Amino acid sequence: GQEIERFRGRLRACLAEARSLLGASEPADSDAWLELGERLQRDCWLLASATHCLHEWAEPDDAHADIDTHDEPPGASTVGLDAATLHRRQTRRAGRRNIRLWREGR
């Protein structure tokens, strides 16, 4: 719970910066946008990872190895997707349970 709030705060700050750049009287240079884009991607990934761990991932038991097959959560988010879109979505899910990656987000 505490980490997800930290990640939400980071993302809110990044979005506020984007709004500020968009509303500036002078256009921001391309480097500012590229750097902001990298931070947005990282902050969105952190929030997605924490959301998955907290709300979507069933706690594993010790009897079986916990292997992320990248096909969860099933349901409405995958209905009607073509194979290529589904594959891209599953690929983006790589590493989402690796909370060690959260430390790099500090």
Sorted by where each begins, the domain ranges of the chain are 2-103
Please tell me the total number of residues recorded for the chain in this structure. Answer: 106
- Arithmetic mean of pLDDT, 70-81: 72
Q: Is the peptide bond before 73 cis (omega within 30 degrees of 0)?
A: yes
Residue 50 contacts residue 4 (beta carbons within 8 Å): yes
pLDDT at residue 106 greater than cutoff 60: no
Q: pLDDT for 25-73, tens place per residue?
A: 999 999 999 999 999 999 999 999 999 989 888 777 788 777 777 776 6
pLDDT at residue 74 greater than cutoff 70: no
Q: What is the chain's mean pLDDT, rounded?
A: 88
